[in-house]
């Protein structure tokens, strides 16, 4: 065997050693990257399950979802007294001091609204909200409240998971909420609408 052949074999062995070392380094690196990707996927799935589990709880769902309970009414809905004070309302009619006082008086005027719980006799955990404030609960099955035009009227049943139906049975001097209007709750907050004064 010649010297040249020995050199060639040594070079081949050196190349094989380099290739083996490269493969070992590449395998370690690819194993690390694969483990990192798998950990990220598992953490993502755990995060999705956690958020979905939290959304089942009505109290936490209300904090996570800022629009919870706004179903059923227009968020930018203006009452008639606010529209009369809006820019451009003077083009339709020139408002004097007496007109402004009349608009303010109609906005301050209170109207009687009665809501009846139809599906059960009592629901003490459910509240009637007027303008975002709890005014009464449905411990007796019926709630009567005074509302002003422009106030939002809600039924807050977030603490009662039962399916409950509420109906407006008295709506004195109001065109909304409409007499006979019904909402059904299942552990949530539902809107009866924005109170509007009936046209004279």
SS (H, E, C) the chain: CCHHHHHHHHHHHHHHHHHHHHHHHHHHHHHHHHHHHHHHHHHHHHHHHHHHHHCCCHHHHHHHCCCCCCCCCCCCCCCHHHHHHCCCHHHHCCCCHHHHHHHHHHHHCEEEEEEEECCCCCEEEEEEEECCEEEEEECCCEEEEEEECCCEEEEECCCCCCEEEEEEEEECCEEECCCCCEEEEECCEEEEEECEECCC
- The CA-based angle 166-171-172, given to 5 degrees, is 160
Q: Are strands 142-148 and 182-186 parallel, antiparallel or unpaired?
A: unpaired
Q: Please give the torsion angle defined by the CA atoms of residues 101, 197, 146 and 136, in that order, rounded to the nearest 10 degrees.
A: -130
Give per-residue pLDDT as tens, 147-183: 888 888 899 998 888 899 999 998 887 888 888 888 9
| pTM over cut 0.75 | no
64/1 Cα distance (integer angstroms): 81
**Residue in 141, 155, 163 with CA at minimum distance from that of residue 193:** 155
Spans of all domains in the chain: 60-197
Give per-residue pLDDT as tens, 43-93: 999 999 988 888 787 777 767 766 555 554 454 544 444 454 455 544 444
């Amino acid at each position: 065997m010649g010297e040249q052949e020995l050199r060639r074999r040594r070079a081949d062995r050196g190349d094989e050693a380099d290739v083996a070392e490269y493969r070992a380094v590449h395998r370690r690196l690819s194993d690390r990257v694969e483990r990192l990707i798998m950990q990220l996927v598992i953490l993502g799935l755990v995060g999705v399950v956690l958020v979905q589990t939290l959304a089942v709880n009505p109290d936490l769902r209300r904090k996570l979802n800022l629009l919870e309970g706004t179903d059923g009414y227009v968020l930018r809905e203006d009452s008639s007294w606010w529209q009369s004070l809006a820019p451009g309302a003077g083009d339709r009619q020139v408002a004097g001091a007496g007109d402004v006082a009349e608009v303010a008086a109609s906005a301050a005027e209170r109207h009687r609204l009665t809501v009846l719980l139809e599906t059960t006799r009592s629901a003490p955990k459910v509240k009637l909200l007027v303008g975002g404030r709890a005014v009464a609960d449905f411990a007796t099955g019926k709630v009567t409240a005074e509302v002003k035009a422009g106030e939002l009227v809600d039924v807050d049943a977030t603490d009662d998971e039962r399916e409950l139906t509420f109906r407006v049975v008295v709506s004195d001097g109001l065109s909304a909420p409409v007499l006979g209007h019904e909402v059904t709750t299942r552990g949530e907050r539902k809107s009866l609408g924005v109170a509007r004064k009936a046209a004279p």
